[in-house]
Amino acid sequence: MSQHREPVTALGAPAAIGPYSHAVRCGGLLFCSGQIPLDPESGELVGTTPAEQTRRCLENLAAVCSAAGASLHDAVRVSVYLTDMGAFADVNEAYAEYFEAGPPARVAIGVAALPRGAQVEIDAVVALPD
């Protein structure tokens, strides 16, 4: 395995549903794979609204960050994928609960579909603490 990149597995996050790592540490950054709103214990989709699913996605991302010695507040860039851009305001409200001050740069992208029928998927690039 290359020494300039290190895969990260987070025990508190749902198991990957494909051939990917929860995240990869490279230099001072952590590149987190997209998280859909899966319960870490059951692996089942949770939340019936985009806002509820946003919260679960961010909780899963927080577990991935923690496994690498960082926190969600260290995020520098977040991508939010939505199957319904009409839910943008509700997603923003839930998202803001996790980033009250100094939120990361962000992009929101409307998509046709997401894995397992999720309404929301979120990934992040995180600056690792020194």
Q: Quick one: pLDDT at residue 111?
A: 98
Contact 44, 59 (CB under 8 A): no
Work out the average pLDDT over 1-9: 82
What are the structure tokens assigned to 76, written together? 């520098």
Q: How confident is the model at residue 33 (pLDDT cuts 50, 70, 90)?
A: very high
* Global confidence as pTM: 0.95
Residue 51: closest CA among 82, 90, 97, 98: 90
Q: Helices 88-96 and 50-67: crossing angle, nearest 10°?
A: 40
**How far is Cα of residue 84 from the mean position of the Cα atoms in its chain?**
18
Q: Please check whether the domain covering 6-127 is classified as CATH 3.90.1300.10.
A: no
Q: How confident is the model at residue 2 (pLDDT cuts 50, 70, 90)?
A: low
